[in-house]
């Protein structure tokens, strides 16, 4: 059965070697430390120590430390990128943020992964970042229903000022940053790259993208961008895109661009430190994630058999097989398939052009589908904590289901747990995961 677009909310996956599932206590449990949201709180080594000790005591095994927020600034002294020294009026004291995380975590027997937002260089809510200062030419040109092709910096409802992934100048820049971090922090356990994607179906429609795509297909696109797709309105006045004759080839090409970058990034990082873990985070909503140019499946899985947006060559750009760690976002408020079927809720996430329904859009259903797409590779199932502010017990249940149904857990993000004092719910989730009858 063919599907057009789907949405969902999902958070993590951890790829290793495809062996049978480990006992719950042995599974990796990652806590994410967002850069901007935690900027002030974690601007003191004592605070880092306190919360690392706290999450270690609960049962977390790894810390994911954001060191390149969406502005494109970094949290260390860099030769290539501006350092973020202040945020929201607070100036951070001068100390080596990531080095302290690594030192303390290793003392506790925990691992540290550096997270970097890759194809983004500005915060549209604050007009802050690289595209607003030194490199406006990096900003993605997006094809909008109302204004045609414009800079993403003009789209103030989108907080991320995404970059055109094939911009060679930016690729050189971000690879220099990745190599610099690898050299500067030889004891770092791994990378989890975030936002290694296009903004969405609207990006990128720059002149560079047009000419590069034309070279890829071997001839001119006479009616651009309508031959890719054209914005129209349905009977209710809502915008939708009508596919043009090159749509599926365009989707294939964008996915190849992301795949090629992942291959290159891994090669450059591993050349410096062969033992470092190379990982990524994506959303688990595979059936609509083609809209951002990402194929996180195993290349043994052929999506063209299931989806009408995939060419026969699309499967060649599945990158799960090259990863050491895959984390995917199970961003659903429904935990079991039975719960989902009771409400049949439409799910929409930030990267999708429209919502979707189906048993995929709960934690249990998602994990079942992800296993097939990954062809046996391991993955960590992730949660978005602020979805459960108004239903605290459900936070415990989604933690337990992710631990039972996937190969580990990633929690995004510690700020939500701290601000709403959700520590008990997290601990309850770990305990519930040990109960084989918890969801019967």
The tally of domains found in the chain comes to: 1
Spatial separation of the C-alpha atoms in residues 138 and 172, rounded to whole Å: 12
CB 344 within 8 A of CB 27: no
Is 1 a domain residue? Answer: no
The Cα 318–Cα 303 span in angstroms is 10
Q: For the domain that residue 84 is a member of, what is the CATH number? A: 3.20.20.80
Q: How far apart are CA 295 and CA 299, in angstroms?
A: 9
Q: What is the pLDDT of residue 13?
A: 38
Residue 301, domain member (yes or no): yes
What is the predicted pLDDT for the residue at 95? Answer: 97
Q: Residue with structure tokens 């631990």?
A: 403
d(CA 222, CA 203): 19
Spatial CA neighbour of 257 closest among 302, 208, 306? 208
Token duo for residue 66:
């954001």
CB atoms within 10 A of CB 422: 21
Could you tell me what percentage of the chain is helix, strand and coil, using 3-state DSSP and rounding each to the nearest 5?
40, 20, 40
Please check whether residue 3 lies inside any domain of the structure.
Answer: no
Local structure of 74: helix, strand or coil:
strand
Task: Give yes or no for a cis peptide into 378 (omega within 30° of 0).
Answer: no
Task: Give the domain range for residue 289.
Answer: 10-433
Tokens 């935990």 found at: 335
Residue 440 in domain: no
Distance between CA atoms of residues 346 and 354, nearest Å:
10
Residue 86: CB atoms within 10 A of its CB come to 13
Yes or no: say if 329 and 412 are a contact pair by the CB < 8 Å rule: yes
Strands 160-162 and 120-123: antiparallel
Rounded to whole angstroms, the Cα distance separating 260 from 424 reads 43
Buried b / exposed e over 323-346, threshold 16 CB at 10 Å, is bbbbbbbbbbbbbbbebbeeeeee
Torsion sign over Cα 197, 252, 349, 374 = negative
Pairing of strands 141-144, 148-151: antiparallel
β-partners of residue 356 are 347
pLDDT along the chain (440 residues), means of 10: 36 39 89 97 98 98 98 98 97 97 98 98 97 97 97 94 98 98 98 97 97 98 98 93 98 98 98 98 95 97 96 98 97 95 83 82 96 96 97 98 98 98 98 95
Q: Looking at the domain assignment, is residue 438 inside a domain?
A: no
Q: Report the C-alpha gap between 348 and 327 in whole angstroms.
A: 20
- DSSP tag of 277: E
DSSP secondary structure letters along 210-250 = HHHHHHHHTS--SSTTTTTEEEEE-TTS-EEEEE-TTHHHH
**Cα first-last separation, the chain:** 30
């Amino acid at each position: 059965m063919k599907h057009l677009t789907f949405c969902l909310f999902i958070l993590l996956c951890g790829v290793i070697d495809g062996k049978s599932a480990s006992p719950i206590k042995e599974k990796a449990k990652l806590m994410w430390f967002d850069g901007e949201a935690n900027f002030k709180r974690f601007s003191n080594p004592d605070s880092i120590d306190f919360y690392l000790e706290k999450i270690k005591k609960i049962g977390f095994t790894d810390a994911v430390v954001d060191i390149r927020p969406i502005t494109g600034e970094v949290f260390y002294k860099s030769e290539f990128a501006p350092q973020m020294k202040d945020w929201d009026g607070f100036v951070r004291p001068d100390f080596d943020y990531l080095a302290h995380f690594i030192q303390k975590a290793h003392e506790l027997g925990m691992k540290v992964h550096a997270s970097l937002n890759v194809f983004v260089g500005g915060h549209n809510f604050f007009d802050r970042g690289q595209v607003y200062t030194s490199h406006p030419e990096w900003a993605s040109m997006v094809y909008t229903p109302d204004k045609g092709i414009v800079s993403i910096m003009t789209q103030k409802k989108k907080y991320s000022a995404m970059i055109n992934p094939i911009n060679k100048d930016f690729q050189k820049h971000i690879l220099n940053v990745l190599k610099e971090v690898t050299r500067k922090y030889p004891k770092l356990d791994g990378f989890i790259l975030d936002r290694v994607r296009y903004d969405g179906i609207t990006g990128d429609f720059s002149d560079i993208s047009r000419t590069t795509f034309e070279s890829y297909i071997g001839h001119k696109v006479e009616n651009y961008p309508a031959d890719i797709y054209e914005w129209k309105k349905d009977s209710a006045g809502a915008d939708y895109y009508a596919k043009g004759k090159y749509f599926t080839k365009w989707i294939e090409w964008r996915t190849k661009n992301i795949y090629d970058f992942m291959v290159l990034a891994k090669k450059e990082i591993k050349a410096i430190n062969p033992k470092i873990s190379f990982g990524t985070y994506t959303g688990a909503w595979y059936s609509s994630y083609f809209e951002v140019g990402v194929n996180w499946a195993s290349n043994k899985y052929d999506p063209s058999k299931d989806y009408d947006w995939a060419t026969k060559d699309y499967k060649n750009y599945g990158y799960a097989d090259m990863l050491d760690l895959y984390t995917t976002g199970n961003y659903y408020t429904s935990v079991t398939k039975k719960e989902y079927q009771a409400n049949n809720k439409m799910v929409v996430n930030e990267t999708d052009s429209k919502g979707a329904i189906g048993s995929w859009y709960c934690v249990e259903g998602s994990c079942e589908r992800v296993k097939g797409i990954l062809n046996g590779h391991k993955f960590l199932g992730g949660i978005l904590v602020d979805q459960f502010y108004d239903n605290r017990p459900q936070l415990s249940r989604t933690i337990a289901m992710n631990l039972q149904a996937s190969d580990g857990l990633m929690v995004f993000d510690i700020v939500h747990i701290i601000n709403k004092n959700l520590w008990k719910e997290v601990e309850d989730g770990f305990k519930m995961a040990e109960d084989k009858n918890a969801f019967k």
